[in-house]
Structure 1
């Protein structure tokens, strides 16, 4: 009986050791990433445009970045790779694909950089994959981004697919321009505010769509909305990159280099703009609303 008890104890001890090793092996393969969710172009929670921001000391694969962006399920997730002796590298992913430029997630990334990483700094230059260097400065108004202009080329309305126009509104736009995004100009702000898109129909169009008009509120020069049904987010709340196309158009139309705009989504957002020869300075506020850890396996 004593030998049986001893043998049983040895077996149980061996099982315990094996389980401990298995747990340790599993924990060694799990890594954590700290992330923040930031409402950009807002000075209070639950307004503006939310973006997930990951600050990383080591790179992760493109495939994992895409999976995480799909999991976060926001219009954009931004990754900032902090590099010793180099500018931080900034990339942006929608739930479905990597994007070349995202204004609100750049603003959000700068907000976390200044508040969590380098609170004594007031300027950061991000390296990017597609659009060169982007500089963001901290000031009394919030944060100012220096982005490249992306003026649209005027196109005939007949070049805009009829199903796109029908999916937006019965009202016809008065002008159309094409850059990365299709920009449609309407005759008044009521039309823009009241657009209720048929997103199933609009999803057949592969590009993003800006709709805009002059503002009927003296506080703003123009208003806009931004539709991106193929992006996993039918309407983007506030779109900094769209203003790389909006700003040069309205600057030329209104004959002024400093503008104030309102993006008339459900959440809404205000942007201050200053247009130079080839750049647009976009100023807005941002606020952190969530901080968390995302765990992933090395096998992911």
Structure 2
């Protein structure tokens, strides 16, 4: 979610449309472990559907992930470069339907070097549950963050199992100012938690409506998309806004323009993407089928 190479959230995308079926899950997991990014994305054109409809799957180095927003951003960019199409429908393994459209300022079909803008439409996943017992949870998270408990204003969870911790807006939790122990956050979380989302209304930039940092499985996710499913309705309701500017002040950094449609309970994320690497993965036939996926 950036226009600057080697910032944002690096996302390998493997296009498997030349294969008749998915690679074995064990092979996709091995590839994700070898590439060792927060998520590695696999896309394959859905049979008997329109040419712009794709199944999409996401793997961390350790397990398959149900949903990944920056993975959809990267997939839309990669597919635009390989097909010339500008709109895509993605269906996740959980059956979540998402849409993405690609635009470029230079021409209708972007070059490899072009930065593209991608508009993504996701369903909302609002923060609905407060964690109980709240006092014990707040104590654990305050200790993990090195903060006084009073600085944590609210703790909740959504149906994607993201924990959302709203901090006082005067707490500068940017990576430059605050080192956060991702493993300690993981240990403070209830079993089954997908990610820990630190957020506030961010008093340090008048052009920003809210900020966030995101941690998952004991490490930081540098620029995320799926957590907006919780944060856009969360901050939209608090700030009484349908359009918001979001900042992710991690070391690599990210930002997005986000919109909330209360009538359809969906959000739109507008973010930029830039391509940095192109290549092929080569391995034995016992672990890969076909001629090998494009990276």
- The 5 Å alignment of 1:191-210 reads 191-193=172-174, 194-204=177-187, 205=189, 206=191, 207=193, 208-210=195-197
Question: Offset of 1:95 from its aligned partner?
Answer: 0.7
| Aligned-partner Cα distance in 2 for 1:153–1:84 | 36
Aligned to 1:235: 220
Superposition TM-score, scaled by structure 1 size: 0.80
Aligned to 1:133: 97
Q: Aligned to 2:7, which of 11, 22, 47?
A: 47
- C-alpha deviations, 1:49-91, integer Å up to 9, x for none? 1110000121201111111101110001000112454221111
- The 5 Å alignment of 1:280-295 reads 280-295=267-282
The secondary structure found in structure 1 opposite 2:88 is strand
- The 5 Å alignment of 1:27-42 reads 41-42=1-2
| Aligned-partner Cα distance in 2 for 1:189–1:223 | 12
Larger radius of gyration: 1
The secondary structure found in structure 1 opposite 2:2 is coil
The secondary structure found in structure 1 opposite 2:15 is strand
Aligned to 1:94: 60
**Residue 229 and residue 161 in structure 1: after superposition, are their counterparts in 2 closer, same or farther (change >3 A)?**
farther
Q: Which has the higher helix share?
A: 1
Q: Which has the higher strand share?
A: 1
Q: Aligned to 2:32, which of 69, 72, 95?
A: 69
| Aligned-partner Cα distance in 2 for 1:127–1:256 | 29
The secondary structure found in structure 2 opposite 1:70 is helix
| Aligned-partner Cα distance in 2 for 1:280–1:199 | 28
Structure 1 residues not aligned, in runs of 5+: 1-40
Question: Offset of 1:147 from its aligned partner?
Answer: 0.6
Aligned residues: 255
Aligned to 1:150: 125
Question: Offset of 1:292 from its aligned partner?
Answer: 1.3
Aligned to 2:290: none
Question: Offset of 1:197 from its aligned partner?
Answer: 2.2
- The 5 Å alignment of 1:257-272 reads 257-272=242-257
Check whether the contact 1:273–1:281 (CA below 8 A) recurs between aligned residues.
yes
Aligned to 1:112: 78
Question: Offset of 1:153 from its aligned partner?
Answer: 1.7
Superposition TM-score, scaled by structure 2 size: 0.82
Check whether the contact 1:261–1:271 (CA below 8 A) recurs between aligned residues.
yes
Structure 2 residues not aligned, in runs of 5+: 105-115, 288-295
- The 5 Å alignment of 1:77-88 reads 77-86=40-49, 87-88=53-54
Q: Aligned to 2:69, which of 100, 103, 107?
A: 103
Aligned to 1:188: 169
Question: Offset of 1:151 from its aligned partner?
Answer: 0.4
Check whether the contact 2:122–2:267 (CA below 8 A) recurs between aligned residues.
yes
